[in-house]
């Protein structure tokens, strides 16, 4: 490995040897539970268990550098920080960085083995254009959020299978953490300093960042919280696989959303309200004009007519203080876009009144609300500061209550799951018709007879169907969803296309789903009409060769 030369051909003075920061080594007495790649072959995630099995940890295992490689890494880092220029055109930061790093290596005669160069480039790219120490968990699709609570404290991560666990990542110097916050603020187009110690913004990839600077508002020093945006969101099929709801409830919601029924998703923090809202919106027709309004974008749809609006903090200062663009302003603006469906990520103020005005005039409307159940949700809506008139409540059709539940594991221990504990048809204040209930003792869903559904009866009348035909439609849709489970079709883009395909030709898709779920049905005569039954079961006159296969859960859904 050659020593770098300066412009006169003499050996250039190398900077002080500085190792790239990495996480702590996993204790020898801990047991590895799971290992999977993050950025192979350079970094891997390891879930490990303590000797007593009382706690778990999240370890980022990164490739090590030799002393000579560390020396070149420090040199490359210093040189690039001094010589790297901002490109005039929009470019891929990582590709641009790699290109410039290679130019530096040629310019200063750095001749390295291919493996050494790849390792050095990994760390240099991670620390200059990546997320630094947090690059590993930021690449991990299983991590929902990341919490940095100061210096010399383990970074906490929320893993979708192991919940909140400490990691081996620790910021040892306050300066390095402050530098990272300043860089994140710059990337997000925000500002953070002693004068403005609170910052929230969006990182590349849609990840939401919230930070506090030094000890101005947080006694332990700078803090950082990142809520990761999932580019491939949890879908209704994922929820079926995870047991969040059953096929009949999913088919009922699909039929309701296709006919633009209004709904609120109710639950506490972290219960999965936004995830549920995203999954419900996916069930809308693809030709629907959808406008979503959020403080931070978390909803992701494949619909052509989808417009996403995000609130903004104020920049200037007026007599009344900083003037931003809030949810209330966006809801009013969205009304001028002629939306078929207006969805608000979370209502908690005067925007609720405007949303219900839109619902009352015939627009489809959905939102999430912090509450424990349907009754408390409606009570919040009609109270200050939302002040929705009680006369507007009957315009709301459904209240879907989601909750995070801690359930025992056979053989010992517990696990956290998310369940839809109730789907209520809203008829008025304190007047609800419960259609679906979760039984905690059996982890099963209890479905009310569809003939009791007031909303289904209304949809049937509007569509010119009999009640019986509407009930049969729910069953057919349940079969299609069971078929999608069996085929492992769960990506939101694929689901959107198939749902629209069903709308265009329901008989053809239902026939295809039935034949693939129960192949022996092809050789049998068409069954006579039977009472509506569970969509996961074959028609009554057909004996299945085996139950409908459902893929094993890949983990709990995100909030």
Q: Would you say residue 239 has pLDDT above 60? A: yes
Residue 537: the pLDDT is 55
- Tens-place pLDDT, residues 448-479: 999 999 999 999 999 999 999 999 999 999 99
Q: Is the peptide bond before 385 cis (omega within 30 degrees of 0)?
A: yes
Phi and psi at residue 48, in whole multiples of 5°?
Answer: -125, 160
The token pair that represents 205 in the structure block? 């990839």
**What's the mean pLDDT in 201-208?**
86
Number of CB atoms found within 10 A of residue 152's CB: 11
Residue 553: the pLDDT is 40
Residue 534: the pLDDT is 56
Domains in the chain, please, with CATH?
31-227 (3.30.450.380), 236-463 (3.40.50.300)
Phi and psi at residue 49, in whole multiples of 5°?
Answer: -120, 140
Tell me the three state secondary structure of residue 287.
coil
Highest mean pLDDT among 3-7, 46-50, 118-122: 46-50
Tell me the three state secondary structure of residue 366.
strand
Q: Would you say residue 157 has pLDDT above 50? A: yes
Cβ contact 264:371 at 8 Å: no
CA-CA distance, 558 to 45, in Å (whole number)? Answer: 19
Q: Would you say residue 309 has pLDDT above 80? A: yes
Tell me the three state secondary structure of residue 424.
strand
Residue 317: the pLDDT is 46
The token pair that represents 466 in the structure block? 């009999």
Q: Would you say residue 185 has pLDDT above 90? A: yes
Residue 542: the pLDDT is 36
Residue 325: the pLDDT is 86
Burial profile 112-122: b = 16 or more Cβ within 10 angstroms, e = fewer: beeebbebbbb
Number of CB atoms found within 10 A of residue 379's CB: 13
Residue 103: the pLDDT is 79
- Tens-place pLDDT, residues 507-535: 999 999 999 998 865 544 444 444 445 55
CA-CA distance, 514 to 525, in Å (whole number)? Answer: 14
For residue 550, give every residue at least 6 positions away whose Cβ sits within 8 Å of its Cβ, in sequence order, or none: 240, 241, 482, 485, 486
CA-CA distance, 44 to 61, in Å (whole number)? Answer: 5
CA-CA distance, 160 to 134, in Å (whole number)? Answer: 17
**What's the mean pLDDT in 396-414?**
89
Please state at what angle helix 467-486 crosses helix 454-463, rounded to 10 degrees: 100
Q: Would you say residue 250 has pLDDT above 80? A: yes
Lowest-confidence pick of 41-55, 108-122, 329-343: 108-122
Identify the H or E element spanning 306. strand 306-310
Q: Would you say residue 429 has pLDDT above 80? A: yes
Running DSSP on this structure, what letter comes out for residue 520?
Answer: G
What predicted TM-score, i.e. pTM, was given to this entire model? 0.79
């Amino acid at each position: 490995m050659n020593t770098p030369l300066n412009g006169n051909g003499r050996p250039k003075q190398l900077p002080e040897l500085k190792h790239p920061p990495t996480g702590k080594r996993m204790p020898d007495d801990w047991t590895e539970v799971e290992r999977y790649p993050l950025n192979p072959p350079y970094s891997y995630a390891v879930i490990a268990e303590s000797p007593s099995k009382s706690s778990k940890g999240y370890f980022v295992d990164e490739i090590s550098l030799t002393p000579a490689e560390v020396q070149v890494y420090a040199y490359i880092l210093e040189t690039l920080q001094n010589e790297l220029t901002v490109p005039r055109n929009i470019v891929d930061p990582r590709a641009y960085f790699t290109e410039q790093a290679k130019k530096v290596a040629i310019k200063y005669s750095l001749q390295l083995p291919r493996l050494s160069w790849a390792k050095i480039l990994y760390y240099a790219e991670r620390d200059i254009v990546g997320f630094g120490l947090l690059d590993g968990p930021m690449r991990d699709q299983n991590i929902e959020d990341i919490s940095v609570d100061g210096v010399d404290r383990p970074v906490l991560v929320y893993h979708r299978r192991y919940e909140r666990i400490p990691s081996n990542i620790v910021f040892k110097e306050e300066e390095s953490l402050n530098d990272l916050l300043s860089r994140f603020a710059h990337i997000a187009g925000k500002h953070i300093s002693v004068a403005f110690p609170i910052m929230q913004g969006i990182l590349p990839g849609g990840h939401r960042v919230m930070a506090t600077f030094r000890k101005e508002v947080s006694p332990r020093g700078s803090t950082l919280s990142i809520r990761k945006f999932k580019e491939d969101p949890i879908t209704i099929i994922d929820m079926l696989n995870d047991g969040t709801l059953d096929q009949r409830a999913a088919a009922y919601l699909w039929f309701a959303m296709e006919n633009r029924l209004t709904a609120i998703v109710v639950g506490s923090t972290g219960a999965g309200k936004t995830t549920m809202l995203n999954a419900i919106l996916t069930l809308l027709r693809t030709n629907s004009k959808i406008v979503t309004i959020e403080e931070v974008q978390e909803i992701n749809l494949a619909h052509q007519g989808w417009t996403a609006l995000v609130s903004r903090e104020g920049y200037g200062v007026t007599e009344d203080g900083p003037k931003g663009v809030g949810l209330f302003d966006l809801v009013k603006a969205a009304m001028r876009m002629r939306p078929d469906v207006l969805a608000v990520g979370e209502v908690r103020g005067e925007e609720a009144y405007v949303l219900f005005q839109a619902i009352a005039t015939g627009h489809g409307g959905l939102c999430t609300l912090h509450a424990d159940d349907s009754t408390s949700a409606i009570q919040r809506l009609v109270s200050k500061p939302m002040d929705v008139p009680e006369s507007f409540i009957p315009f709301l059709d459904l209240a879907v209550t989601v909750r995070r539940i801690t359930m025992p594991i056979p053989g010992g221990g517990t696990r956290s799951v998310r369940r839809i504990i109730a789907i209520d048809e809203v008829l008025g204040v304190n007047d609800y018709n419960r259609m679906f209930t979760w039984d905690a003792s059996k982890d099963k869903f209890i479905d009310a007879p569809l003939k009791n559904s007031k909303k289904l009866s209304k949809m049937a009348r509007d569509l010119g169907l009999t009640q019986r035909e509407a009930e049969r439609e729910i069953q057919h849709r349940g079969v299609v969803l069971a078929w999608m489970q069996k085929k492992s079709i769960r990506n939101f883009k694929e689901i959107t296309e198939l749902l629209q395909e069903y709308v265009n030709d329901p008989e053809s898709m239902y026939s295809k789903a039935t034949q693939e779920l129960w192949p022996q049905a092809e050789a049998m005569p068409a069954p006579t009409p039977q009472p509506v039954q569970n969509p996961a079961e074959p028609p009554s006159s057909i004996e299945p060769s085996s139950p409908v296969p459902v893929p094993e859960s890949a983990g709990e859904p995100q909030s």
